[in-house]
Amino acid sequence: MRALVLGSGMAGLTAARGLTAAGTEVVVLDKGRRPGGRIATVDLGGGERADHGAQFFTVRSAEFGGLVDGWVAEGLVAEWCRGFASTDGHPRYVVPGGMAGLPGRLAEGLDVRQSVHVDAIRPVGGGWEATWAAAHGQTAGSVRADAVVVTSPVPQSASLLVGVVELPDVAYDATLSLMVALDGASSVPPPGGVQLTHDPVWSWVGDNRAKGVSATTTVTLHTTAAVAGARWDDDPAAAAVDLLEAAGPWLGGADVVATRLHRWRHATPVDVLPERCLEAAPGLVLAGDAFGGPRVEGAFLSGLAAAAHVNDSAGHYS
């Protein structure tokens, strides 16, 4: 059997690994330049590094916990802290050198094809075909498979399946991520992260040096959904200037060396569906953090469930 996985984030890579382990030939397609989706790290140009998507992850399930224990033992991930303003006993895990190292490891040994902008998924000859046009610097192409697991945000998945199947409506909050490299210490308190609930601009502030991501001080700030919505269509340079001013209290009076602004349109699902995955049509399975929960662990559990569903149904697809 051959399976196609759309998306190389945590859900997609987990699904691909689960399918591969069962002996299925798997192709992973993703429009991004690197695997990971919202698990992302950027170099600001002078060696300053910043996680600008997922900042850490936690463990609540035995399935994920066993895997994370192995990652800790091999040094892939490390415990950062057990809370921010107070300790709640739940470890927050990070990846030394940047969160992108985690999907990078998960992609090893898989047929992952990045920078592929799929524009349609259609049923063909008892299976499925993903197609893409000659655009974005790519030549036109297609991949056929007996089954497909789609892990992109649900609105994006729906746009690929117009006229094929109706998908549930899922709303997402957007986030603007501002990264600021400094020539001195920030004023982010230990352990290097603050989750904000009543701030008019920011929902998160993190110091990547304190996390072991950057050798120099580089701060990541995430806006609230309200600010992201209000500034989404603004000129990015103008938005960055205003947001940098609002970030001042967290920068410790240090001089700014570099800045970068990244926009996450589908940062967090607002309406999480109860199923860990959903078979929308025979051989077409949806997964992602809108199904397993809006966390790294939720995406993992959803990808795991999608692989199990396809593996259990393999006789009906091939």
Largest CA distance in the chain: 63
Residue pLDDT, tens place only, 56-108: 999 999 999 999 999 999 999 999 999 998 878 889 999 999 999 999 999 99
For residue 318, pLDDT over 90 is answered with no
Whether CATH 3.50.50.60 fits 2-33+114-169+273-317: yes
For residue 317, pLDDT over 80 is answered with no
Torsion region of 178: left, alpha or beta (phi above 0 gives left; psi -120 to 50 gives alpha): beta
pTM of structure: 0.96
Neighbours of 133 (CB within 10 A): 13
Contacts of 237 (CB under 8 A, 6+ apart): none
Percentage with pLDDT > 70 across the chain: 99
Question: Would you list the DSSP string of 28-54?
Answer: EE-SSSSTTTTS-EEE-SSS-EEE-S-
Omega prior to 249 cis, within 30 of 0:
no
d(CA 211, CA 135): 38
- Beta bridge mates, 284: 148, 281
Contacts of 83 (CB under 8 A, 6+ apart): 89, 90, 92
Mean pLDDT of 211-221: 97
Six token digits for residue 74 = 């091999």
Give the model's confidence band at 250: pLDDT under 50 very low, under 70 low, under 90 confident, else very high. very high
For residue 177, pLDDT over 60 is answered with yes
Percentage with pLDDT > 90 across the chain: 93
Q: Which amino acid is at 213?
A: V
Contacts of 309 (CB under 8 A, 6+ apart): 277, 279, 285
Could you tell me which of 247, 301, 290, 14 has the C-alpha nearest to residue 154?
290
- Give pLDDT, residue 71: 98
Q: In the CATH hierarchy, which fold is given to the domain comprising 172-269?
A: Polyamine Oxidase; Chain A, domain 2 (3.90.660)
- Give pLDDT, residue 28: 98
d(CA 206, CA 218): 8
Q: Where are the domains of the chain?
A: 2-33+114-169+273-317, 172-269
Six token digits for residue 266 = 């589908």
- Give pLDDT, residue 163: 95
For residue 316, pLDDT over 70 is answered with no
Residue pLDDT, tens place only, 261-272: 999 999 999 989
First to last CA, the chain: 6
Residue pLDDT, tens place only, 148-158: 999 999 999 99
Between helices 62-74 and 296-312, what is the axis angle to 10°? 110
Strands (E) across 92-201 are located at: 92-94, 111-113, 120-124, 127-132, 141-145, 147-150, 172-182, 193-195
Could you tell me which of 177, 222, 231 has the C-alpha nearest to residue 202?
222
- Give pLDDT, residue 313: 87
Q: Which amino acid is at 110?
A: L
Residue pLDDT, tens place only, 103-129: 999 999 999 999 999 999 999 999 999
